[in-house]
Chain A
């Protein structure tokens, strides 16, 4: 098996130079040392995240509430997408270890096949992460709202579609009576953040005013994340009362009552640091996955050209394999501490 010493060596010779006391090649040993240092970096980041979470005064976001979307299917699928990402990365780790195994048998075709599978898995993971970032930045249709009593709440439920804006007061561009049907959601959210909606009347960019026609929301629930004068932390406000509280705040005509999605200063999910740690830790991990894919491609070219076959061993595949498994290992921890716990 990999790394086993084939010869018995007495201690004096073993520690007296020339041979490695670890019975392993220089390259592999250095890869292990690098991985230990990289593991310390990620360990430090996750501990810093734990620190901020433990001293946070506001409610920390809950994974299954924050990450509950699937591509093409919308909301309502808690954790399924990250579980899928985890599965993709585990599978690509398996194909990598199979490539290493094939290398130990000097099976060049096998190494090529499994390396290609690993690279495809890596691209899938990076793509998934891009989608998740897009979704995280874009946010939900409701956003996080500051209610009349000063409390802050996130919203779950189904957002009733906006059908159109009917212009009631002409501006530079739109005439009275005109029915606007394009770019509704985008315009609506911008106006809501800027405080340009009052009592169901939206003020558009050109100064015209329009009445919003919108279907009713379903299963509306407000979950209080920051206590105010009236509502306590983790209070749940439901149905018609929720709609009344939500829309009186959203249509209050004051700016910055609602936050959609996330940027580096604020996010709708929780404290400011939550978004920053999300971007930094998953971003740093994603960067590792991306560089891992690039390294794998370089090694794959070497395999196809026969460089390692001529050398008599496929240790380069084993070394990149170590790095690739490490990336999977880090994700296992990120998955637990960001999404589950």
Chain B
């Protein structure tokens, strides 16, 4: 059922052979990068033990690398980087606002609860 007042956005995805070549090259580049990041994470995890002086630094490196990996997956593999800005931000902004709030409130509360257990016992 084709209606002339409905725009077929599904066809916008099509691209030519040459454009395809470029996109594939980009995909393989991102693959190499994601693999390299995972390798770095594992090596850091194996060689730097929790509780060592470097650990807090390593922990935050893990979190930063995770966000970097996530960004590549969402923006390149899921093509969100190629979508219209309105779609990009309606997905990302509410999610990040809510999650940052939730992480902050939950971890603060957890520390307070932990202190309460430590002080008053079970």
Q: Which A residues lie at the B interface, using CB under 8 A?
A: 1-7, 18-25, 28-29, 32, 35-36, 39-40, 43-44, 47-48, 50-57, 62-64, 78-80, 83, 86-87, 90-91, 93-94, 96-98, 100-106, 234, 312-315, 318, 321-322, 325-326, 328-329, 332-333, 335-336, 339-341
Contacts and interface: CB of A to CB of B under 8 A. Distances in A.
A314 B13 CA distance: 9
Given A32-B91, A43-B102, A22 B84 contact: yes
A28 B91 CA distance: 12
A2 B78 CA distance: 10
Contacts of A78: 45-46
B62 A341 contact: yes
Contacts of B34: 90
B70 A64 contact: no
A87 B65 CA distance: 15
Interface string B21-36: 0011001100100110
Contact of A340 (B23, B41, B91, B111): B41
A329 B84 contact: no
A21 B86 contact: yes
B103 A98 contact: no
Q: How large is the interface on B (under 10, 10 to 19, 20 to 34, 35 or more residues)?
A: 35 or more
A19 B39 CA distance: 45
Interface in B11-62: 11-17, 19-20, 23-24, 27-28, 31, 34-35, 38-39, 41-42, 45-46, 49-51, 59, 62
A3 B70 contact: no
Contacts of A98: 24, 27
Contacts of A312: 10-11
Nearest to A24: B9
Contacts of B41: 83, 335-336, 340
Contacts of B74: 325, 329
B14 to A, nearest CB: 5
A94 B10 contact: no
B82 A55 contact: no
Nearest to A323: B78
B84 A32 contact: no
Q: Which of B65, B79, B82, B109 has the most CB of A within 10 A?
A: B79
B66 to A, nearest CB: 4
5 interchain residue pairs of minimum CB distance: A54-B110, A55-B114, A22-B87, A55-B110, A336-B66
